[in-house]
Amino acid sequence: MTDKPILPGATIGILGGGQLGRMFAIAARRMGYRVHSFDPMPDSPTGQVADVEIEADYNDIEAARYFASRCDVVTMEFENIPSPTVESVAEIRPVRPSARVLHICQHRLREKEFLSKSGFSVAPFRPVQSESDLRTALDNLGMPAILKTAGFGYDGKGQTRIDAPDQIAGAWQKLGEAQGVLEKFVKFDRELSVIAARGLDGRIRCFPVAENDHRRHILDTSVAPARIEPDIAERAQKLAAEIATALDVIGLLAVEMFLIEDGKLLVNELAPRPHNSGHWSFDACVTSQFEQQLRAVCGLPLGDPALLKPAAIANLLGDLWTTGDPRWDFALAIPNVKLHLYGKQTPRPGRKMGHLCATAESSTAALHSVLRAREALMPRA
């Protein structure tokens, strides 16, 4: 293994086959790299654009080692890869970010404890391992509160809000695992996120702060730059950079945070990979988050993350197909709108099938355009 730059012509391995890997693979192939993907499902979004697609369970250590042996460096497009698999891959090829980073970020309790012990502000929380623990934690934190699974949660999965005592038993039963995290519900002014890239040399470049809106715990829209005061944006980027350094990330780190009424920033969640709230960078930045991930994991100089023009994205969920095929031509009649579909064949409610991106002279104008485009493509009932 070496810290020398991994140059175009080399092979990049991607653990995970979703849309984040797909867009990463597109960026990598554009720069002359070969791409191998590893995912349990055939014809995955990443596999569709990879040079080689290996279909195997994430727990298949031998398959993962074979996959690694054919790559020069390995990265991941989502964090819920079993730690033993990542550790086995790391014995053969560099894995960036590291198994340690993944181990922390794939488990909400470990993540919260890391942030808290490192001096970063988070919402008050308590670990819970039984219904009795949950009741005690609610006595301490009060209601409303959010009960979350400790591991393997994303897009709102494994989260239940508790507003009253008669909801406690049902919430614990719904958790479905032996360990959870109870978080005090935080009233916030805005949801923000920052994607920080950190290279092998420790240098960090942060993308502009995004302002996010969620529906059903799933990101609905994201705009950049966020409509916040410059000093708040500066503090948000500084916070993301400090966390990336504390974790010793090589690659990307998305930091989701809450802006509360007194101007304080609370860290909500971390993701050591590209992030849905940075998809606008594909169309609107000098260097997209996907190219930046490639540069970081290959030991190349980081690119300029500057925003060329304000931008907004709107997610396209499987619900859109309920009454028929979307009217793509209607949405694309709006000239400042770009369409990204992820190659998923079966639309399901809540499943991310693609997104629209619009650029404009302001964040608000971009958001207006992308929402108008999404409304235009909705099939008539």
> Where residue 163 sits, what CATH number does that domain have?
3.30.1490.20
3-class SS letters over 38-73 = EECCCCCCCCCCCCEEEECCCCCHHHHHHHHHCCCE
Regarding whether 206 and 130 lie in a shared domain, the answer is no
Token code pair at residue 283? 């169309």
pLDDT in tens, 19-42: 999 999 999 999 999 999 999 999
Residue 179 has pLDDT above 90, yes or no: no
Regarding whether 336 and 203 lie in a shared domain, the answer is yes
Residue 170 has pLDDT above 70, yes or no: yes
How far apart CA 249 and CA 267 sit, in angstroms, is 17
Backbone angles phi, psi at 375, to 5 degrees: -65, -35
Residue 111 domain-assigned (yes or no): no
Regarding whether 340 and 261 lie in a shared domain, the answer is yes
Regarding whether 196 and 158 lie in a shared domain, the answer is no
Report the pLDDT value the prediction gives residue 152, as an integer from 0 to 100: 65
Token code pair at residue 345? 């064949």
Report the pLDDT value the prediction gives residue 1, as an integer from 0 to 100: 45
Residue 109 domain-assigned (yes or no): no
Element (H, E) at 284: helix 281-284
Residue 103 domain-assigned (yes or no): no
Regarding whether 316 and 245 lie in a shared domain, the answer is yes
Regarding whether 166 and 79 lie in a shared domain, the answer is no
CATH number assigned to the domain comprising residue 31 = 3.40.50.20
In the numeric block, the tokens 């400790």 are attached to 150
The pLDDT mean for the chain works out to: 95
Regarding whether 141 and 17 lie in a shared domain, the answer is no
Residue 110 domain-assigned (yes or no): no
Regarding whether 248 and 279 lie in a shared domain, the answer is yes
Residue 327 domain-assigned (yes or no): yes
Residue 153 has pLDDT above 80, yes or no: no
Regarding whether 282 and 197 lie in a shared domain, the answer is yes
Contact 33, 59 (CB under 8 A): no
Last residue of a domain, one of 184, 201, 224: 184
pLDDT in tens, 263-316: 999 999 999 999 999 999 999 999 999 999 999 999 999 999 999 999 999 999
Report the pLDDT value the prediction gives residue 9, as an integer from 0 to 100: 98
Q: Total structural domains in the chain?
A: 3
Token code pair at residue 205? 């470049």
In the numeric block, the tokens 């697609």 are attached to 53
Residue 150 domain-assigned (yes or no): yes
Report the pLDDT value the prediction gives residue 294, as an integer from 0 to 100: 98
Regarding whether 147 and 250 lie in a shared domain, the answer is no
Residue 106 domain-assigned (yes or no): no
Residue 356 lies in domain: 190-377
Regarding whether 170 and 256 lie in a shared domain, the answer is no
Regarding whether 223 and 179 lie in a shared domain, the answer is no
CATH number assigned to the domain comprising residue 283 = 3.30.470.20
Residue 376 has pLDDT above 70, yes or no: yes
Residue 215 domain-assigned (yes or no): yes
